Amino acid sequence: MPHAIWRLLVTDPTDGPMNMAIDQAIMEAVAEGRVAPTLRFYAWEPPCLSLGYTQPISEVDRERLAARGWDLVRRMTGGRAILHTDELTYSVALPADNPIVTADIVESYRRLSGALVAGLQRLGADPQADKRADGHRGASTGPVCFEVPSHYEITIDGKKLVGSAQVRKFGAVLQHGSLPLGGDITRICDALVYSDDHQREVVRERVRRRAATLEDALHAIVPWEDAAQTMAHAFADTFDLELDAATGLTPEELERAADLRTGQYTSDDWNARF
């Protein structure tokens, strides 16, 4: 890839609707050429269940979700549900003509996975980025992202370690994803609808077999700040980037994000649309 300058954002923890609003505001600004391609790392406070763009809201037990104090938001990307807690979340927003993403979606996943794998290796893990054929992707239709195969999913010892999703619109490409740093990967089952407690435990065990956290891989907790810094360096080296951390979100992006949060991402017209 030719040498390029990207903006690096490490934003303060915030709620799910605002996190998704910020990602969209960045994507729109990148598409319009108002800001440079942007790599962002962020966290969620409080924990939040995010749904894929077309995932049915009927799969969520909203009473159980509220009882645990967890947020709910629908992403503009596809995929299945993720419980965002104890994790490092990344997003990459690029113009649609950027060479990293000008190929098809599968190839762009492969290229971006290269940076993620490099970062995980620097953290001490031994991950793999496994290509999944479309037929295999349909092998599991459960509600949980980390039990469903995906293109170039990143695994450790055969278990899914990073869940990512991508959308192309506005003349830009946004890919964001979740790296669980620790904790119980099966907690998500506490907020989803199952026929009974037995079925919930069956799915919990299936998620435990198919998914892992970075703590599982390393037998140690990596501090959030260390993980973000290491992954940023890996992106810079993989794509020959100069990362500009001095330029934060613009006033226009902040205003747009605030509008999106209240007008879209906290609304049942959006979150319960399917």
Query: Which one from 65, 145, 156, 189 is the annotated catalytic residue?
Result: 145
Q: 43 near 88, Cβ under 8 Å?
A: yes
Rounded-to-integer distance, Cα 179 and Cα 88, Å:
5
48 as an active site residue: the answer is no
Q: 37 near 244, Cβ under 8 Å?
A: no
> What 8-state DSSP symbol labels residue 222?
P
**C-alpha angle 120/122/124, rounded to 5°?**
75
Rounded-to-integer distance, Cα 71 and Cα 134, Å:
31
Rounded-to-integer distance, Cα 113 and Cα 7, Å:
19
* Tally of CB atoms within 10 A around 225: 11
Rounded-to-integer distance, Cα 5 and Cα 242, Å:
5
Bridge partners, 92 (sequence order) = 39, 175
By annotation, the residues acting in catalysis are 145
